Structure formats: C-alpha cells, structure tokens
Amino acid sequence: MSEYVTKETFEKMREELQRMKSIDRPAASKAIAEAREKGDLKENAEYDAAKEAQGMLEARIKQLEGVIANAKIVDPASIDTSKVAVLTKVTITNLGTKKTVTYQIVGEKEADLKSGKISASSPIGKGLLGKAVGEIAEVSAPTGILKFKVEGISI
C-alpha cells in the first residue's frame, strides 16, 4: 500500500535508514561478537539480547525500505483545496459536542494527534476525505456514529 508523505518526511526516513545501515547495523554486529567472546552461548543472556536487538533492527530496516519504496511524495502546492485530501488542513465541528477542531490529513507515518495530524486511513480521516466545505462526514466509532461538519479546508 502506498504511503503519502511530504518531501521532508521522505528525507527523514531515508536518513534514518542510512543511519541504521551504516551505524546501528555494525554496532549490533560488534555487540554480538563481544558477547560471543564471553563464553558458553547457551547460558549467555548478553548474547541472546544482542541477537534479539539485531533481529529487531533488521526488521525495522526491512519495513522502512518497504515504506520508502512505496512512498508517494505529495507536493503541497499541487493540492486542490475544494475537497478534503491528503495534506490539507480541515476545520471540522463535531455536531454532537459542538466542538470545533482543525486537523491536517496526513499519511500513517506522519500521524500525530498532539500536533493536530490525523492519518488518512484513520476512521475520521477516511470519513473526511473527499468532503467539501459544508458537507457532513459520518464516522463510525465504538460509541456510535459521529457527525462532523466541514467548516474549512486549507493547506
């Protein structure tokens, strides 16, 4: 599945991958070698921990390589603000609570509710995508159907 990201996020992911391959991977190998030198591998907790850390690092490298390979870089200048789309900021009012909030719709890797960024694949994100100003988005939640009115769309 493609992941929509900004150019900045794409570059951060590439830098993280490069760091893991050039710094973290050799450090994990060195930790395994040092633990191996300490004797019997059957009863060597340090060796087991180093091998487990290496396995988790390799899994993260593989996962990040997949995300980078399938990433779609979105240019904010090319976004149509007539409808809610990835990278747009949408101001919505919860019709149940009358509370108004503004969220930026982003890809999963950039989602951070504390900074007002929600994933396009989240229930609210899915419900808002494609809506225009004035339209009502109905989102299914554990507490029932939530209704949000789109008040504004910007970049």
Q: What percent of the chain stands above pLDDT 70?
A: 97
3-73 in CATH: which number?
1.10.287.180
The strand pairing partners of 147, in sequence order, are: 138
What is the domain partition of the chain in residue ranges? 3-73, 76-154
Residue 92 has pLDDT above 80, yes or no: yes
- Side-chain half-sphere CA neighbours of 97 within 13 A: 9
The pLDDT of 59-76, averaged and rounded, is 88
pTM score of the predicted model: 0.64
Q: Output the CA–CA distances (angstroms, integers) from residue 85 to 7, 53, 78, 111, 128, in the order listed.
A: 17, 39, 11, 14, 8
The domain 76-154 having CATH identifier 3.30.420.60: the answer here is no
Per-residue pLDDT band for 21 (boundaries 50, 70, 90) equals: very high
Cβ atoms within 10 Å of 115's Cβ, excluding its own = 10
- What are 39-55's pLDDT values in tens digits? 776 777 888 888 899 99
Quote the pLDDT of residue 35.
82
